[in-house]
Amino acid sequence: MAFWQNPRWFDDSKRQEQIDDYIHATGKARFGIREYAEEKKAEAVRIHFDRVAPKYDFMNSLLSFGIQHAWKRAAVRMLDIHAGERVLDVCGGTGDLAILAARRTGPSGQVVIFDINRAMIQAGRHKIDPFADLGHIGYVQGNAEAITFPDNTFDCAMVGFGIRNVTHLKQGFAEMIRVLKPGGRLLCLEFSRPLNPVFRSLYDFYSFNIMPALGQLLAGSAESYACLPETIRMFPLPDELAAMLTDLGLDGVRWTFLTNGISVAHVGTKRNKFL
Ligand SMILES: C[S@@+](CC[C@H](N)C(=O)[O-])C[C@H]1O[C@@H](n2cnc3c(N)ncnc32)[C@H](O)[C@@H]1O
């Protein structure tokens, strides 16, 4: 099949394989082109990010032609963070979203980077430390499926390009919502399916051919960058994700397409159970 026929985007049933119910039922979880036993995926993800951590920021900027920074700025703006607020950056990695949030909370607020992978946190330290005076940025190493904070702790919780790596997607979101205060805001910034079919074909070609080649050339691993496009194509589409977040306890979920939908930012507000 020719690349312009978009063979690479999965149908609804295939996307269900990324959802908790399917994973619980089958005991299998996919990470890109590979399938793992449910309990083994988190370890595979950890090893993957150990491998890519030293070059993560460089490769991200290169592969996105720098646009990822604009996406991150646009997404954090949607959260409307105020001075003094407490913000959790789940799957925070090297801390780009956390830095943007800390500029808004100021030193009277607090931002916590929560990530399973120590190497990713370490790789971002050189960026975070100079910003320490802008706000308190802390680090916690842990699994997004069991966030080690009490209920109703944060004003905002955000996740950028991380939730699709979490074995149980709904569980990860449910945890973010649990630690939000009622009325607190959640942001999810993720890759998605470009809207324009011609642009989508070019993007497919780039994703499956150029990206792994650049990964091999510049980071010494084609495989690490070959798994990325497939995880993106397994992820719920924007309306599916909005429905999931609403079911899990958010109100007013809305989303914005970035660069024709290569990325999508969703925000919503934690429902107050007692209203
Ligand atoms: C693609 S990076 C995104 C980093 C950062 N948010 C950004 O936008 O640049 C994904 C991050 O998710 C983290 N991660 C993957 N699975 C996780 C889990 N179950 N719990 C917490 N962090 C996880 C990885 O260690 C990695 O740092």
User: What residues does each domain of the chain span?
Assistant: 12-195+227-270
Residue 5 has a pLDDT of 45
CB atoms within 10 A of CB 96: 23
Q: Quote the mean pLDDT of the chain.
A: 91
Contacts of 35 by beta carbon, 8 Å cutoff, 6+ apart: 28, 29
CB atoms within 10 A of CB 248: 20
CATH class, 12-195+227-270 region: alpha beta
φ/ψ region of 143 (left if φ > 0, alpha if ψ in -120 to 50, else beta) reads: beta
Residue 136 has a pLDDT of 85
| Phi, psi angle pair for 192, to nearest 5° | -150, -165
Ligand 1 atom, smallest distance to 166 CA: 19
Going by pLDDT thresholds of 50, 70 and 90, the confidence category of residue 88 is very high
Residue 4 has a pLDDT of 42
Nearest to 98 by CA among 121, 118, 119, 116: 121
The H-or-E segment that residue 90 falls in is strand 86-90
Going by pLDDT thresholds of 50, 70 and 90, the confidence category of residue 6 is very low
Q: What is the pTM of this model?
A: 0.93
Residue 237 has a pLDDT of 96
Nearest to 175 by CA among 266, 267, 91: 91
Best probe residue, ligand 1, of 48, 71, 76, 115 (max atoms within 8 Å of C-beta) = 115
The three-class DSSP label of residue 7 is coil
Ligand 1 pocket residues where CB is under 6 Å: 42, 45, 49, 91-94, 96-97, 115-117, 120, 143-145, 160-162, 165-166
| pLDDT tens, position by position, 111-164 | 999 999 999 999 999 998 876 666 689 999 999 999 999 999 999 999 999 999
For atom 2 of ligand 1, which residue has the closest CA?
Answer: 162
Supply the DSSP symbol for 130. Answer: G
Instruction: Cite the beta strand spans of 100-215 per DSSP E.
Output: 110-115, 136-141, 154-160, 180-191
Distance 159 CA to ligand 1 centre (A): 8
